Amino acid sequence: MGSQYRLMTLFADGGWMMYPLVLCSLIALGVIIAKAWTLWVAHRGTSRVLREVEEAAMAGDLDRAYEIARDTPGPAAAILLAGLRRIRSGRIFEGELEKAVSTTGTIELGFLERGLVILATIANVAPLMGFLGTVAGMILAFGAIEAAGQVEPSLVAGGIKVALLTTAAGLVIAVPINIAYNFFVTRIDQLIVDMEQGAQKVLNLAWDLEKAGKLEIVKRAED
């Protein structure tokens, strides 16, 4: 109870700039939780779906491979699904498969990166807001000195306290957000590699089926 009271006291002593700082921290916390869940779900079944789809495709069971990709969430599965949907038809136009895989990859990457801009913005803005609070606190301190006509510790202590509290709050918010942002970027980079593996498996499957005479790739008529 005492620590909670002390925290509320520090918040009150920090001045009006503490309100937008707390709002930024709450927004960032929500984005971090949502992004952590999204990336965990996206990464959870990636290795399994790549392996099982390849095994089913090598066994000649495209329907089973399609069902595995369809029932597995994640960007790699989405790319496999986009490719298998066209391969199962037995006849595709030249370049159609590559375009479908590329388009799906772009859409999935955009979904994975959603929210990172918010984290990056808050990580950059929070320290600046803290420094703005610092400037406001120093203005209060010098205003008190000017009004009193003399320098006394009790006159400037309040303004300096505001300055230090807002600076500390801005940095405390920015540091963990930067760590979370870099962690998410690393996870997305790994998912991009998985997506590329999925795209390559789809293309390899199409080439193998074409050689076996089970897939017809039709060249587009030149204009």
Work out the pLDDT band at 13, boundaries 50, 70, 90: low
- pLDDT tens by residue, 75-109: 888 898 888 888 877 777 777 888 888 888 888 88
Which runs of consecutive H residues, i.e. helices, occur in the chain? Answer: 2-13, 18-44, 46-58, 62-70, 75-87, 96-112, 116-148, 153-211
Where residue 223 falls among pLDDT bands split at 50, 70, 90?
A: very low
For 46-81, the pLDDT digits (tens) are 888 888 888 888 787 888 888 888 888 888 888 988
With the C-alpha atoms ordered 82, 87, 89, 94, is the resulting torsion angle positive or negative? positive
pLDDT (average), residues 159-166:
73
Q: What is the pLDDT of residue 5?
A: 44
- Flag whether pLDDT at 1 surpasses 80: no
Determine the average pLDDT of the residues in 4-10: 57
| Whole-Å CA distances, 172 to 123, 177, 184 | 10, 9, 19
Lowest-pLDDT range of 4-18, 106-120, 160-174: 4-18
| Mean pLDDT of the chain, nearest integer | 81
